[in-house]
Structure 1
C-alpha cells in the first residue's frame, strides 16, 4: 500500500527533542501501593473539591522541601556535578489542541510548596484553558521548536546543563498523569531528575504511586523512603489544608447568609 508523509509539527519536534535528551538517562522506577483514605474523605467533604493533580502536586512539593535529593540535578557544564536548588519548580504536562492536533506542552510553577491549593488550581486550570499564545512557557517552547535542529539541540543542552537555567526553563521535577482516563504510564521519560505519576484512585483510597528517578542523582532506598513519607504528607499536611479550605468556605457562607439577613 502507498501511504502519505506527514510533516512534523513544531509540537511533535518538541516532544522528539525532549526524548532525545531523556533516552540516555539511567532511569529507575520505584512504586508504592498507598492508602490515602483520609485525603479521599477530606476531599469528598469539601465543597471546593481540589483536583487530584493539585493535591498530589502540593504533596510532592512538600516532600521535595524535606528531601534535598529531589531538588538536585545532574549537570555536565562546566564539569559533571550535582546542582541543588533552594526550592522546587514543578513541570506539568498538559494535553492541548493546537493547529488541528492534540499536543503535549509543559508549564512550570515556581515554589509550589509555598502556594495555597486554590492558587495552584488556578495556575493549572489557566494552563489547560487559556489560549496557547497567552502561556509564556508554551509560546517559548513552540518558538524554539521552529528553529533549526542543531540550534535547538544546542540551546536545550545548555539549558539542561547550566544549573540556574535548568530550573528556570525546565523545572526540578515533572508530573504527568493519565489516571483521569483510567490509565497509567509505566515508563515515562523526562530529562529531569524525577517524574512521578499515580494510577486510578479506588473508593477505599488505594492508589499506586511511582517515582521514576535519575540513578546518577539518588538511589532506590532513598526513593522508597521518600514514597513512604509522601503517603504520610498526603494524609496529614495536605489533608489539613483541604479541611481548612472547607472550613473557610463554610465560614464565608455563614457570613454571607448573615449579611443577607
Structure 2
C-alpha cells in the first residue's frame, strides 16, 4: 500500500532525542492512592482556582527540598557518580500548537519550593498561553532542534552528565500530567532522576500519584515513604497556603481557572 513520507518536524526530533537518552535509564515506578480531600475543599473555596499542576508542583518541590535523594542525579562525566543539588529546577511539559502541529515543549521553573502558589500559577499560565517563540526555553530548544543530529546528541550528553550544568538545561525533576483529559500515563520516560504524575482526581479527593525514578539513584522504599510524605504536604502546607490566599483575598492566577487541571 502506498503512502507518503512525512519529514520530521523540529519537535518530533526533540522527542526522539529525549527518548534516546531516556531509554538507557533503569526506571521504576512507585504509586500511592492518596486522599487529598482537605486540599480539594480548600481549592473549591477559592473564587479563582489555581491549577492542580501548580498545587502538585509546589508540594513536590517542598518534598524534594526536604529529601536529598530527590535532588540527586546519576552523572557519568568524568566518572560515574551521584551529584546532589542544593535546590530544585522543575521541568514542566506543556502541549502547545506550533506551525499547525500539537507539540510538547518543556519549560523550567527555578526554585519552585520558594515561590508562592500565585507566582507559580503566573509562570505556568505564561508558558501555556504566550506565543511559543516568546518563551525563552521554547525558542532556545526549537532552535537547537535544527542542529545536525550528532551535534545535538553530544551537547545533550554533556548537558546530562556535567553535574553543575544539568539543571540549567534539563531541570532536577520533571512533571507531566494528562489527568485533565481524563487519562494518565503509566510508563512515561525521562532522562531525569524523577518524574511525577497523577491520574484524574475523584469528587471525594481520591487520586493515584506516581513517582517514576532512576533506580541508580534511590530505592523503592525511599520513594514509597516520599509518596506518604507528599500526601501530608498536599493536605498540610499546600492546603494551608491556599487557605491563606482566601483570607488575604489574593488572586492565585491572572485568569479564571475553574476548569484548569
TM-score range, shorter chain: over 0.9
Distance in 2 of aligned mates of 1:148 and 1:249: 51
Correspondence 1:203-222 to 2 at 5 A: 203-222=203-222
- Which residue of 1 is the match for residue 242 of structure 2? 242
Correspondence 1:196-207 to 2 at 5 A: 196-207=196-207
- The alignment partner of 1:48 has SS state of coil
Distance in 2 of aligned mates of 1:29 and 1:184: 14
Distance in 1 of aligned mates of 2:150 and 2:228: 43
Deviation at 1:48, TM superposition (A): 2.9
Deviation at 1:132, TM superposition (A): 1.1
Would the aligned equivalents of 1:48 and 1:245 in 2 still touch at CA under 8 Å?
Answer: no
Q: RMSD of aligned C-alpha atoms?
A: 1.0
Correspondence 1:95-110 to 2 at 5 A: 95-110=95-110
Which structure dedicates a bigger proportion of its chain to helix? 1
Deviation at 1:250, TM superposition (A): 7.7
Distance in 1 of aligned mates of 2:108 and 2:58: 13
Correspondence 1:30-179 to 2 at 5 A: 30-179=30-179
Distance in 1 of aligned mates of 2:135 and 2:76: 30
Distance in 2 of aligned mates of 1:38 and 1:132: 36
- Extract unaligned runs of 5+ from structure 1: 252-261
With the length of structure 1 as denominator, give the TM-score of the two structures: 0.95
Q: Which is greater in Rg?
A: 1
Distance in 2 of aligned mates of 1:41 and 1:157: 44
Distance in 2 of aligned mates of 1:102 and 1:250: 34
- The alignment partner of 2:249 has SS state of helix
- Which residue of 1 is the match for residue 13 of structure 2? 13
- The alignment partner of 2:104 has SS state of strand
Would the aligned equivalents of 1:48 and 1:246 in 2 still touch at CA under 8 Å?
Answer: no
- The alignment partner of 1:163 has SS state of coil
Distance in 1 of aligned mates of 2:188 and 2:238: 26
- The alignment partner of 1:174 has SS state of strand
How big is each residue's C-alpha offset from its partner over 1:109-145, in whole Å with a ceiling of 9 and x where there is no partner?
Answer: 0000000001000100000110111111111111111
How big is each residue's C-alpha offset from its partner over 1:60-110, in whole Å with a ceiling of 9 and x where there is no partner?
Answer: 000001000000000000100101110000000000001110000000000
Number of equivalenced pairs: 251
- Extract unaligned runs of 5+ from structure 2: 252-261
Q: Which runs of 4+ in 1 moved over 4 A?
A: none
- The alignment partner of 2:164 has SS state of helix
- Which residue of 2 is the match for residue 190 of structure 1? 190
Distance in 2 of aligned mates of 1:23 and 1:96: 24
